Amino acid sequence: MESRYLQKCLGTCLTQGLAEVARIRPVDPIEYLGLWIYKYKENMTMEQLRQKEMADLEHERELAVIEQEMMERLKAEELLFQQQQLAFQLELEMQEKERQSIEELQRAQEELEKDVTSDTSKTLAEISDRYGAPNLSRVEELDEPMLSDVSIFTKVCCEKQFCFVLF
């Protein structure tokens, strides 16, 4: 039972220490073996700390990679959101321009209707005062022209259903 305990706790350490004492052959082998075992224990503790630190560093590295990926996704989402906002803003601007153009067309149509109604309500003299309008005060009235003999003959023939075509 004691041998199992010694083999479990000191097996590797004692075997390596005795091999080292046999190889070096110090003047005081017991003191050398004691110091070697202390140094072995210190080395094992340092190795455990180093392994723990390496595991912690690996864990932190994984967290940093995850955080980096999350930041990239957030940046991509932010860029997408900005693009959507820009598209929405452009659509609103287009709707506003369309609304303004419709209002301008309505105003132009109303002005045109006002012009038309104001033109119809104006007298002939007011209209003739405009630039380029004919001077209606100088229009001469002529006597009605007399009907020619041919037109009278055509009229009489058509009334009696005798239609002649004269060439």
Per-residue pLDDT tens over the stretch 135-153: 655 555 566 555 555 555 5
DSSP 134: -
pLDDT tens digits, residue range 51-82?
Answer: 999 999 999 999 999 999 999 999 999 999 99
**What pTM does this model have?**
0.43
pLDDT at 122: 60
User: In sequence order, what DSSP letters do the residues of 31-47 get, joined into one string?
Assistant: HHHHHHHHHHHHHHHHH
C-alpha span between 47 and 41 (Å, rounded): 10
**Closest of 165, 134, 162 to residue 150, by C-alpha:** 165
State the pLDDT confidence band at 114, using cuts at 50, 70 and 90: confident
Residue carrying structure tokens 């105003």: 107
For 30-51, b where at least 16 C-beta lie within 10 A, e where not — what string?
Answer: eebbeebeeebeeeeeeeeeee
Residue 39 to residue 17: CA distance in whole angstroms: 10
